[in-house]
Amino acid sequence: MKRRDFLKKVIKAFFLTLTAFIFSASIYIYPSNIRKRRFHYIYLMDEDDLPKKGVRKIEFHYEREHRIVNSRVFVVAGNDKFTAFSPVCTHLGCLVNWDNNKKEFLCPCHGGKYNASGEVIAGPPPKPLTRLPLEIKDGKVYVGIKV
Amino acid sequence: MGKIFDWIDSHFGVKEPHKRFLQRTIPPNVNYSYCLGGIAFTYFLMLAFTGLLLSIYYVPSEKEAFKSIIAITNEVTLGWFIRSLHKWSANLFIVFIIFHAIRVFIHKAYKPPRELNWMAGVLGFVVAMASGFTGYLLPWDQKAYWATEVGTSMFGTVPLIGDYLIYAVRGGLDINGTTLIRFYSLHVLYLPISMVIILWAHFHMVKRQGIAKRL
């Protein structure tokens, strides 16, 4: 083998090793504990405390991976029907607030607005607010979230 | 100064090879707008220096980060001053990179043979912005948290590899201590090292190609 050909092979091997290294590095930086979020029903409040009308913000907490996570949900009272909305804006994940004067959900980050049915009325959000299932059992209200 | 420097230089030999660069004649019709890049570089040096000082007191952990920032601001002697210098230098660094880029653009200095240097400059700007973004999380307050929530969520909008990117950047499903360590590591190691390499290449090309003639 000529020296030139040999060196060419060495350079090729070097770049192959480099590619393998970059590939391993990109696997290395990916966290190993990523799992699918599981669906859980979490106690929210007693049935008597459900709002008669309008929108109420309910704060609750749960435990995940030995850490207390504070969370909140908006319960909207309709005609004998309750809807729960996740407060997470569908744009980039900020938490929306309910403006009781304007009767709309407002996201503080980029001005996304939703009406009381969770539909987008202004701003950048691509989707309506996520509806969360509510379950009433033995006078207690549970909300279904992915934990 | 002269004698000590001459003694060092007689052994180290740094003066002679840099004479061409340090004692070169400045081309005619150069005005103060040609200083913008140099000003940006001065801010980079300020950032490196104050950053080194801040790293002595800052603790990049979920429980300690915010406390250590409060301690730097209120308890450490001149801590508020060093922190402010770092913060304002960071802002002005970005501002002067933009001014510099505008000057280069107006003078059409991005044209061949300097197109690679324009690319190096753009890369440097990206690294500067990334440094700003990662540094923003380090105070670990509400503003930092939500800015990072928004910023990292944007990674999720990349087609196909969005989920990989978002979890790789956050180090988990949500923003927590792991994210803080990652951002700290990027902010004090990866990005500054990249910046130094990019700036070396940038200055090397300026030295080789000279300053573009004005229109």
ipTM: 0.79
Which range (A20-24, B28-32, B108-112, B130-134) has the least confidence?
B28-32
Cα–Cα distance measured from residue B131 to residue B187, given in angstroms and rounded to the nearest whole number: 6
Report which listed range, A48-57, B29-38, B118-127, is most confident: B118-127
Say if residue A114's pLDDT is above 70. Answer: yes
- Per DSSP, B60 falls in state -
Do residues B61 and B180 make contact, with C-beta atoms less than 8 angstroms apart? Answer: yes
CB-based burial label for B90 (10 Å; 0-12, 13-18, 19+): buried
Number of residues that this document lists for chain A: 147
pLDDT band at B209 (very low <50, low <70, confident <90, very high): confident
> Considering only alpha carbons, which residue of chain A is nearest residue B166?
A30
Say if residue A62's pLDDT is above 70. Answer: yes
State the nearest Cα–Cα gap between B149 and chain A, in angstroms. 7
Same domain, A105 and A86: yes
CB-based contact B154 A94, cutoff 8 Å: no
Q: Which domain holds residue A96?
A: 39-146
State the nearest Cα–Cα gap between A68 and chain B, in angstroms. 12
Paired tokens of B199: 């700036």
Same domain, A89 and A44: yes
pLDDT at A70: 86
What average pLDDT does chain A have? 89
DSSP bridge pairs for B127? none
Say if residue B21's pLDDT is above 80. Answer: no
State the nearest Cα–Cα gap between A12 and chain B, in angstroms. 25
Write the secondary structure of A91-124 as one string of H (helix), E (strand) and C (coil): CCCCECEEECCCCEEECCCCCCEECCCCCEEECC
> Considering only alpha carbons, which residue of chain A is nearest residue B153?
A92
Short-list B120, B108, B93, CA closest to B211: B108
Cα–Cα distance measured from residue B169 to residue B178, given in angstroms and rounded to the nearest whole number: 10
The H-or-E segment that residue B202 falls in is helix B191-209
pLDDT at A68: 84
DSSP for B24-92, please give it: PPPPTT--GGGGHHHHHHHHHHHHHHHHHHHHHH---STTTHHHHHHHHHHTSTTHHHHHHHHHHHHHH
Average pLDDT of the segment spanning A112-139: 91
Chain B residues closer than 8 Å to A29 by CB: 168
Average pLDDT of the segment spanning B184-196: 97
Q: What is the tally of structural domains in chain A? A: 2
Paired tokens of B83: 């922190």
CB-based contact B154 A109, cutoff 8 Å: no
Average pLDDT of the segment spanning A10-37: 92
pLDDT band at B17 (very low <50, low <70, confident <90, very high): confident
Q: Chain A within 8 Å of B162 (Cβ-Cβ)?
A: no
State the nearest Cα–Cα gap between B109 and chain A, in angstroms. 34
Among candidates B154, B171, B173 on the partner chain, residue whose Cβ is nearest the Cβ of A37: B173
Q: What is the CATH number of the domain that holds A85?
A: 2.102.10.10
Same domain, A77 and A136: yes
pLDDT at A54: 85
Same domain, A62 and A103: yes
Average pLDDT of the segment spanning A89-108: 92
**Which amino acid belongs to residue B80?**
W
Q: How far is CA A16 from the centre of its chain?
A: 39
pLDDT at B1: 61
Paired tokens of B168: 């790789």
Same domain, A75 and A52: yes
* pLDDT tens for each residue of B108-166: 999 888 999 999 999 999 999 999 999 999 999 999 999 999 999 999 899 999 989 99
Does residue A71 or residue A66 have the better pLDDT? A71
Say if residue A65's pLDDT is above 80. Answer: no
Q: In a 3-state reduction of DSSP, which class is residue A140?
A: strand
Same domain, A48 and A74: yes
Same domain, A137 and A76: yes
Same domain, A87 and A51: yes
Same domain, A5 and A52: no
CB-based contact B172 A31, cutoff 8 Å: yes
Same domain, A65 and A106: yes
Paired tokens of B61: 């952990």
Q: Tell whether domain B34-209 is in CATH 1.20.810.10.
A: yes
This prediction's pTM: 0.87
Cα–Cα distance measured from residue A61 to residue A49, given in angstroms and rounded to the nearest whole number: 17
What average pLDDT does chain B have? 92
Cα–Cα distance measured from residue B83 to residue B89, given in angstroms and rounded to the nearest whole number: 10
Short-list B142, B133, B125, B139, CA closest to B195: B125
**Which amino acid belongs to residue B166?**
I
Same domain, A80 and A99: yes
Same domain, A46 and A89: yes
Q: Listing from the earlier edge strand, what are the strands of the sheet with A140-146?
A: A39-46, A140-146, A134-137
Average pLDDT of the segment spanning A8-35: 93
Which range (B4-8, B80-84, B129-133, B134-138) has the least confidence?
B4-8
pLDDT at B29: 78
Question: How, if at all, do strands A97-99 and A134-137 pair?
Answer: unpaired
Cα–Cα distance measured from residue B122 to residue A90, given in angstroms and rounded to the nearest whole number: 32
Cα–Cα distance measured from residue B204 to residue B117, given in angstroms and rounded to the nearest whole number: 9
Best A27, A29, A68 residue to mutate vs chain B (most B CBs within 10 Å): A29
Q: Chain B within 8 Å of A88 (Cβ-Cβ)?
A: no
pLDDT at A47: 81
Q: In a 3-state reduction of DSSP, which class is residue B166?
A: helix
| Percent of chain B predicted with pLDDT > 90 | 74
Q: Chain A within 8 Å of B153 (Cβ-Cβ)?
A: yes
Which range (A82-96, B84-98, B118-132) has the least confidence?
A82-96
Q: Match 């379950």 to its residue by tokens.
A: A135
Q: In a 3-state reduction of DSSP, which class is residue B9?
A: helix
Average pLDDT of the segment spanning A73-77: 90
Q: Chain A within 8 Å of B63 (Cβ-Cβ)?
A: no
